[in-house]
């Protein structure tokens, strides 16, 4: 698959780039995508939820009514889960939701996500751009020039660039990531992928290494 390379003005440079079919042209594996996205979202969970059980409720321990003769069931404590304000049965406790996933599965998932974007014509390759200082307006102008303003956009840069990152931070639907840190969820969550030309080599090394 060949894509035209654009500059920051949204104009074609006259050069074309051939995408690696082993990364951008595979048959997507939906189950690998499911597992990887599940792991990413699970790893983001704080897991700090907590409810009080019967032993943790701060109430009197006296027997609330006599054992027999009331016509109702026996009740020994106001802390019982049967009463309002009592403890919760099998309530949530702090826990770690993260789990491990095979490296090959994660690679396959990212390749599948990129292949879906290639099929949907959702990948735009640019020469690259920079700012002398953070500029939200300048970043928005580039998105307008590329005709992707207002859509969920993932910009993949070859290495950390603070000015580019800070320029995008106040734009709600845009996200900038370093090529070495791309993940399946961010790729699929974006409608358009803006790839810096120099990012392609990093992605290829990342997704083809054993």
% of the chain at pLDDT higher than 70: 100
Parallel/antiparallel/unpaired status of strands 123-126 and 174-178: unpaired
Q: How confident is the model at residue 133 (pLDDT cuts 50, 70, 90)?
A: very high
Q: What is the mean pLDDT of the chain?
A: 93
Asked if residues 174 and 146 have their Cβ atoms less than 8 Å apart, the reply is no
Q: Coil, strand, or helix at residue 4?
A: strand
Q: With beta carbons less than 8 A apart as the criterion, state whether 152 and 121 touch.
A: no
Q: Given this model, what pLDDT does residue 208 score? A: 86
Burial class (CB in 10 A: 0-12, 13-18, 19+), 156: buried
Q: How many residues does the chain have?
A: 210
The enclosing H or E element of 23 equals helix 21-24
Share above pLDDT 90 across residues of the chain, in percent, rounded to a whole number: 82
- pLDDT tens, 90-104? 999 999 999 999 999
Please indicate, yes or no, whether the overall pTM of this predicted structure exceeds 0.75: yes
Residues 144-158 have a mean pLDDT of 93
The domains of the chain, with CATH numbers, are 2-46+101-208 (3.40.1370.10), 51-91 (no CATH)
């Amino acid at each position: 698959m060949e894509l035209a390379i654009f500059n920051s003005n949204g104009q074609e440079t006259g050069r074309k780039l051939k995408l690696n079919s082993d990364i951008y042209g595979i048959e997507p594996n939906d189950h690998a995508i499911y597992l990887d996205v599940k792991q990413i979202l699970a790893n983001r969970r704080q897991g700090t939820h907590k409810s009080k059980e019967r032993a943790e409720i701060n109430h009197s321990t006296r027997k609330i009514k006599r054992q027999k003769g009331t016509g109702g069931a026996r009740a020994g404590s106001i802390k019982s889960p049967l009463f309002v304000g009592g403890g919760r049965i099998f309530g949530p406790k702090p826990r770690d939701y993260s789990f491990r996933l095979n490296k090959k599965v994660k690679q396959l998932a990212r390749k599948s996500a990129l292949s879906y974007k290639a099929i949907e014509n959702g990948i735009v390759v640019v020469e690259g751009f920079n700012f002398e200082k953070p500029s939200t307006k300048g970043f928005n102008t580039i998105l307008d020039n590329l005709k992707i303003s207002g859509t969920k956009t993932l910009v993949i840069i070859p290495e950390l660039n603070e000015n580019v990152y800070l320029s995008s931070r106040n734009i709600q639907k845009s996200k900038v990531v370093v090529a070495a840190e791309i993940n399946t969820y961010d790729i699929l969550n974006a409608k358009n992928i803006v790839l810096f030309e120099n990012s392609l080599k990093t992605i290829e090394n990342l997704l083809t290494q054993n």
